[in-house]
Amino acid sequence: MEDVRIVTTEDRWTPPSSWCPNPQWWHSDGSDPDGAESEVTGLVTALVRACQPEVVVETGTAAGQTAYAIGWALKDNGHGRLYTIEIDREAASAAEARLNGLPVIVACKDSLDWWPQYPIDFAWIDSGTAQTRVREIDRWASMFSPGALIGVHDTAPNQGREVLRSLASGLFGSFGWPVLSLRTPRGVMIAQVPC
């Protein structure tokens, strides 16, 4: 799994806060302020390996860092497919080239215009505005399989992320889905659909 990236400490993008006083302990792509922290990508990859999902959906492909890691995890699993959705044509094309040979389909479209063909076992929500992310989850709620995990990036209560945190908490609460909130620099919420 060779994919060379310039790595920097996360404090380049996220300042210290009471939520995460030491963002320098995390790492991120030095050229992509929107990419997930490297350790968070590692967590997503570990969840894909541990939970063995058949269908994974990611929104907000961007440079494809997390999609690349998920693709390799699925390949190592020996089954499953990732559908990654990116609205920006140039980013989608670059990601498609990067993900060539992995069990990944890149959809270049608005995530709110995309509909899954199969039940979703794992979702990584990391696109657009807070409202877009919450609408994605709400729109696909009936397509999440029992026990599915839904991860939402950028839910820390800092740098304007409070809106996403509040909206996601409210939505998950309305569904009765338990939530784990991780104190990463940018924040991660993980909800699970009850079995």
pLDDT band at 7 (very low <50, low <70, confident <90, very high): confident
Predicted confidence (pLDDT) per residue in 120-167, tens digit = 999 999 999 999 999 999 999 999 999 999 999 999 998 788 999 999
pLDDT at residue 5 above 80? no
pLDDT at residue 50 above 80? yes
- The mean predicted confidence, pLDDT, of the chain is 94
Per the model's pLDDT, the better-predicted residue between 3 and 162 turns out to be: 162
pLDDT at residue 3 above 60? no
* Separation of alpha carbons 56 and 71, rounded Å: 10
pLDDT reported for residue 42: 97
User: What value, to the nearest 5°, has the Cα angle with vertex 35 and ends 172 and 97?
Assistant: 115
Q: Which domains does the chain have, with CATH numbers?
A: 36-192 (3.40.50.150)
Cα–Cα distance list, 59 to 6, 17, 21, 92, 134 (Å): 23, 27, 28, 11, 12
